[in-house]
C-alpha cells in the first residue's frame, strides 16, 4: 500500500470523549430547565444518530417533548461551551497509542487528517488540551461535521478530507470506533482500522479491515 495519509475520527477514536459529551448535554439540559437526563444506556442508543443537534431531535421525537427545532442550535452551542470546559480541565486523555502513532507518522512524512462529525471548536479544544498545541500544527487537514451536507454514515466528511489532502482513497487509512464511522469511511473508498470505544464495544464491526483494541504498536501497519 502506498500510504500517504492517516485520517482520524475524533470522538471515541482519538479520545474517550463521549462520556464528557453526555455530561455536557445533561448539565446543559438541567441549566435550561429541560426535563431530560441521558443515562449511559440511553446515550449508547443515541450515538447511532450522528451529530449532537440531530441526537436532540431524535430524543425529542421519541419522548414526545423537548426543545423546538428553532431552539436546538442555541442549546447545542451552550452544550459545546460546557463540553469545552470539561475538556480544558484535562479529564479526557488521548486513547492508548494515539500520540505515538501521530509522532511516528509525522516522522515518516505521512500526512495527518481529521474527518469528524463533531464541530471544529471541539477538535481544537481536545487537541490543545491533550497535545498542547493547536490542531492545525498537528493535522494537515481538518474536515468537520458542520462543513458537509450529510454526516456519517454518509461519506461526505471523508470525501472532503481526501479532497483537501489531494489524495485518492487507496493512499490513506481511516481510523474509527463506530458503525456509522465505519460505513462512512468505507463508502468513501477507504480501508479502516477499527478500535471500539467504551460506547461501541461489542458491536458487529464486520467490514473493518483491521479490528484492534487500541492504536498501540501500529508501526508495521503504517510501514515505519
Rounded Cα gap, residues 183 and 152, in angstroms: 8
Question: Which of the listed residues 89, 113, 147 is the one where a domain comes to its end?
Answer: 89
* CATH number of the domain within which 47 lies: 1.10.150.240
> Which of the listed residues 62, 89, 116 is the one where a domain comes to its end?
89
- Residues 170, 196: one domain? yes
Provide, rounded to the nearest whole percent, the portion of the chain with pLDDT above 70. 100
70 in the same domain as 50: yes
Tens digits of per-residue pLDDT, 65-102?
999 999 999 999 999 999 999 999 988 999 999 999 99
82 and 140 fall within a common domain: no
Which residue among 11, 61, 146, 209 is the active-site one?
11
Helices (H), the chain: 18-31, 40-46, 52-63, 72-88, 98-107, 120-131, 156-165, 179-187, 219-222
Catalytic residue among 9, 41, 156, 209: 9
Query: Do residue 150 and residue 67 come from a single domain?
Result: no
Q: Are residues 106 and 208 in the same domain?
A: yes
Do 82 and 99 belong together in one domain? Answer: no
CATH code of the domain covering residue 122: 3.40.50.1000
Confidence band (pLDDT; 50, 70, 90) for 154? very high
Sheet of 210-211, strand order: 141-143, 111-115, 5-8, 172-176, 191-194, 210-211
Question: Is residue 37 domain-shared with residue 83, that is, in the same domain?
Answer: yes
Checking if the pLDDT of 64 tops 80, the result is: yes
Q: Does one domain contain both 164 and 105? A: yes
What range defines the domain where residue 25 resides?
A: 18-89
User: Do 204 and 145 meet the contact criterion of CB atoms below 8 Å apart?
Assistant: no
Quote the mean pLDDT of the chain: 95
Q: Is residue 25 located within the same domain as residue 12?
A: no
Read off the C-alpha cell for 40.
449511559
Q: Are residues 52 and 78 in the same domain?
A: yes
CA distance 29 to 159: 34
When divided into structural domains, the chain yields a total of 2
- Is 71 a catalytic site residue? no
Dist CA 81 CA 20 (whole Å):
12
Are residue 45 and residue 154 in the same domain, yes or no?
A: no
The domain boundary, picked from 41, 72, 89, lies at 89
Can you tell me the distance from the alpha carbon of 199 to that of 117, in angstroms, rounded to the nearest whole number?
16
Q: Give 166-212 pLDDT, tens digit per residue.
A: 999 999 999 999 999 999 999 999 999 999 999 999 999 999 999 99
The CB density around residue 137, as the number of other CB atoms within 10 Å, is: 10
Quote the distance between the C-alpha of residue 96 and its chain's center.
16
Is there a single domain that holds both residue 117 and residue 27? Answer: no
Percent of all residues in the chain with a pLDDT value above 90, rounded to a whole number? 93
Instruction: Decide if 88 is catalytic.
Output: no
Output helix, strand, coil percentages for the chain, rounded to the nearest 5.
Answer: 45, 10, 40
Amino acid at each position: 500500500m502506498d500510504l500517504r495519509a492517516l485520517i482520524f475520527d475524533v470522538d471515541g477514536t482519538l479520545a474517550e470523549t463521549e462520556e464528557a459529551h453526555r455530561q455536557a448535554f445533561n448539565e446543559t439540559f438541567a441549566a435550561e430547565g429541560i426535563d431530560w437526563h441521558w443515562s449511559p444506556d440511553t446515550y449508547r442508543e443515541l450515538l447511532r444518530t450522528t451529530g449532537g443537534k440531530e441526537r436532540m431531535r431524535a430524543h425529542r421525537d421519541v419522548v414526545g417533548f423537548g426543545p423546538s427545532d428553532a431552539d436546538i442550535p442555541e442549546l447545542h452551542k451552550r452544550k459545546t461551551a460546557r463540553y469545552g470546559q470539561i475538556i480544558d480541565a484535562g479529564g479526557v486523555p488521548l486513547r492508548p497509542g494515539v500520540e505515538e502513532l501521530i509522532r511516528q507518522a509525522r516522522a515518516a512524512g505521512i500526512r495527518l487528517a481529521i474527518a469528524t462529525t463533531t464541530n471544529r471548536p471541539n477538535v481544537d479544544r481536545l487537541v490543545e488540551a491533550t497535545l498542547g498545541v493547536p490542531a492545525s500544527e498537528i493535522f494537515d487537514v481538518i474536515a468537520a461535521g458542520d462543513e458537509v451536507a450529510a454526516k456519517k454514515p454518509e461519506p461526505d466528511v471523508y470525501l472532503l478530507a481526501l479532497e483537501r489532502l489531494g489524495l485518492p482513497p487507496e493512499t490513506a487509512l481511516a481510523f474509527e470506533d463506530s458503525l456509522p464511522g465505519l460505513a462512512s469511511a468505507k463508502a468513501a473508498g477507504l480501508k479502516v482500522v477499527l478500535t471500539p470505544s467504551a460506547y461501541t464495544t461489542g458491536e458487529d464491526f464486520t467490514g473493518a479491515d483491521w479490528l484492534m483494541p487500541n492504536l498501540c504498536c501500529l508501526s508495521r501497519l503504517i510501514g515505519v
